[in-house]
Amino acid sequence: MNHAVRRSFAIAMRSPLLRIVGTVLGVVILLHSVNMGRVAHGLRDANAGWAVAGLILTGLSLLASILEWGVLLRGTGHALSWRALASWYFQGLFVGQVLPAGVGGDALRAVEVGRVTGAGSALASLAGSRMAGTLGMALWGVAGAVLLRASLGPAGVAGACIFVVVMGVAWFLALAADQVVRRMRGHRCPVRRRIFAVLNPFTGAFRAYRRRPHVLVQSILVGAAGWGVNLCALGFFARALGIEANWSLFAVAIPVTLLATLAPFSLNGLGLREGVLVGLLAHAGVSSSHAGALAIFVDLQMVPFALFGAVLWMRRRQRRAQTAATTTAPGMATAAT
């Protein structure tokens, strides 16, 4: 009976309907928690200069994300142009904004890069760049928690430090995984041999990172710098709304809001993410209406760059359609004769 209940609960938690219902409830609760009239008024009266400056810094942080990803690929011998990497990144950003699961962008990049490098190296580069950026986020979180220790208390600082330790352990396991996987080579058990065949390209790419520590350090440093630029962008968005908020507040608040994306009952944390941010900003002394307006700014800061990615994506589809038409036409002409 207990097994049946657990199985039913697991199936229910994976249900798309539950995610839709959870997202709708989260949005409804958020709308009832803030005065949307004041939020709209704050957005309408936002300082355009600070907002544009925030968008510029957001663009720079995205370029840093491309660089931290490209360093891992190019630094391990894959001859990929920065132009191609940037194009795939922005196209992935567009797809990630459209699909509710939040992983569509990574899937697009994995497919495009995998055609050149192989699936293992492509997936490892994506995982490595994500881990580099997250480690940078964790380090900034520790710095912010130390500055805000009077309000966060020892528990807040300890939580930020634990985040760094977790990311350090994750990096250690990823870089050392090939030593475990290689033991499955030539094993008598066919299951272990299949596991080796699947995982070896992925763990082999991390082995290449381990043997090139300068590449790894460059990616992590660029990821940390990019997150610092993004924190400054959030500070500019806050100034556009008349909010006096230091970067340290966002360094602590944003990683907490990202945990909402892991909720199994929401579409990529939509509604929950904004609600958590509003609650954290309100706890820091920001009015709920200003906090709601800033949460909308945070959600919309990637939209202009996603639209740019949409243009690149549509141009790529047009080129492929034209190529298919030109290769099909001679064959049709030959068949007709």
For residue 93, which amino acid is it? L
pLDDT digits (tens, 9 = 90+) for 134-190: 999 999 999 999 999 988 889 999 999 999 999 999 999 999 998 888 877 766 777
Residue 337: pLDDT band (50, 70, 90) is very low
Task: Compare 156 and 263 and report the one with higher pLDDT.
Answer: 156
Tokens at residue 57, please?
């810094």
d(Cα 245, Cα 252) in Å, to the nearest integer? 12
Q: pLDDT for 200-242, tens place per residue?
A: 889 999 999 999 999 999 999 999 999 999 999 999 999 998 8
Range 140-149 contact pairs with CB under 8 angstroms and sequence separation of 24 or more: 140/224, 140/227, 140/228, 140/231, 140/251, 141/251, 141/252, 141/255, 143/248, 143/251, 144/247, 144/248, 144/249, 144/250, 144/251, 144/252, 145/248, 145/251, 145/252, 147/246, 147/248, 148/248, 148/249, 148/252
Q: What is the mean pLDDT of residues 277-298?
A: 81
pLDDT cut 70: percent of the chain above it? 81
pTM: 0.84
Say how far residue 264 (Cα) sits from the centre of its chain: 17
pLDDT of residue 92: 92
- 300, 39 Cβ separation under 8 angstroms: no
For the chain, give the percent of residues with pLDDT over 90: 47
Listed in sequence order, the residues at least 6 apart from 99 whose beta carbon sits closer than 8 Å to its beta carbon are 105
**Rounded Cα gap, residues 3 and 13, in angstroms:** 15
Rounded Cα gap, residues 179 and 204, in angstroms: 9
Which pLDDT belongs to residue 182?
81
Q: Do 270 and 19 touch, CB atoms closer than 8 A? A: no
Q: Count the Cβ atoms, other than its own, within 10 Å of residue 118.
A: 16
